Amino acid sequence: MMSDLETKRQSSYTGPLFLVAAAVLWSTAGVLSKFIPWSALSLACVRGLIAAAVQMLYSRTFRVRVTWPILLTAVCYLGETCLFMFANKMTSAGSAIVLQNTSPLYIILLSLLMLRQKPSRLDLCVGAVIFAGIVLSMLDTLRGSELPGTNPALGNLLALLSGVFYAGIFFTSRLPGANPLHSTILGNSLYVLFLPFLLRDPAVMHPATAGIPAWQSWLAVFFMGACQLGLSWICFSKGIRTTPSLQASFITMVEPVLSPILALIFLGEAMGLLSVVGSVLVIATIAVHNVLTEKQRQKKEAAENSS
């Protein structure tokens, strides 16, 4: 049997790996949501219900234990996934995902206000760089460098609001009585309330006018529900249990790296120059933060072993 130290050390590596896997699956949302001609609400609804079924099968239960942390996380999850889908339809995939991943700023603020945890100098520096990346992305919108025929200003604002709910997920998932998997099942199940809106979506009700075969749309939606959302949050629920909130938020920055790359390869969608600079600045800073955080963890572990 492994000692407590070995178990703790293994968890410190497996937790981040699960979070990386979740982020890779999440990164396919941008390109797939633009490929599928459905409205944002229709897509979010069907995707969420499929994800709920997958997660229920994984957990082998159709009953969800409800506590206040579970309910709060479910509401944050519903807000994050729905708003992000709208943002993806209105602005570029790269801008949407970068602006959504401003969540570390809100985690720092929530930790300060609710837990009285003061951020370190390193965290404050990372937060400042992320804010600079936001400004650069927003400047691109003002310059009109986003995709024609969309509403990039509103899309960027929705992406920022999605980031607030995203931060709430990281924060509430670690509260006593929380269960991230039950929260995502509950949050996805709440999409049943939006099923009537499917009847008002021409792309769903009259697929012949949507521009692509109906079977392609449904296949893409099924992948988004089963893998991009369902399986990804199973990985997230495993990883967040043993990974601190802020570190977990930083690790999942893998998503904004891959999302615009996939959109460029498969859709030919390019971000504006300022958005690219802002994204590179944010991602590079997050990478440095992860390296420094890991070194600090190793030093602390070595000091505890020597004492």
Predicted pLDDT of residue 1: 47
For 8-17, the pLDDT digits (tens) are: 554 556 888 8
Helix axis angle, 254-267 to 273-306, nearest 10° = 150
Mean pLDDT of 148-170: 84
pLDDT over threshold 90, residue 162: yes
Quick: pLDDT tens for 57-78: 988 877 888 899 999 999 999 9
| Mean local confidence (pLDDT), 267-277 | 79
pTM assigned to the model: 0.80
Model pLDDT for residues 167-185, shown as the tens digit of each residue: 888 788 878 888 888 898 9
Non-local CB neighbours of 223 within 8 Å, separated by 6+ positions: 28, 32
Mean pLDDT of all residues belonging to the chain:
82
Tell me the three state secondary structure of residue 197. helix
DSSP per position, 125-178 = HHHHHHHHHHHHHHHHHHTT-S-TTS-HHHHHHHHHHHHHHHHHHHHHTTSTT-
pLDDT of residue 102: 76
Tokens 């969540």 belong to residue: 103
Who has greater pLDDT, 278 or 89? 89
